[in-house]
Amino acid sequence: MRQQVLVLYLSSSALDSQVVGWSRYDGTGRTRPMTGDSDEPPYDTGLAALYDGWRLFQASQLLPPQAGHEYDVSFLKHEFFFEKWEDETQA
């Protein structure tokens, strides 16, 4: 069995909020997703990924901003990791 990983960046910390960014990593080696290869996300929300059988295994913690850095912007905050397991011999 090999792991497929899907990373969704959501509009808020709610799993059913809109997908604003996405990444794929394919442990079967059958595909090789990379930077800038699509303009449309695979799902509209994180919840839609659950409906399609992806298993959520990590979500970003909710961390308050450091004092003095309340207005700074940097990485996307609401990052959710999903996985699927696939037989590597599967067509």
36 makes contact with another protein (CB under 8 A):
yes
62 makes contact with another protein (CB under 8 A):
no
Q: Which member of 75, 87, 90, 91 binds another protein (CB under 8 A)?
A: 75
63 makes contact with another protein (CB under 8 A):
no
**DSSP characters over 23-42:** EEEETTSS----TT--SS-S
d(CA 31, CA 58) in angstroms, rounded, equals 23
20 makes contact with another protein (CB under 8 A):
yes
Q: Which member of 61, 66, 74, 90 binds another protein (CB under 8 A)?
A: 74
- Residue pair 2/88 in contact (Cβ under 8 Å)? The answer is yes
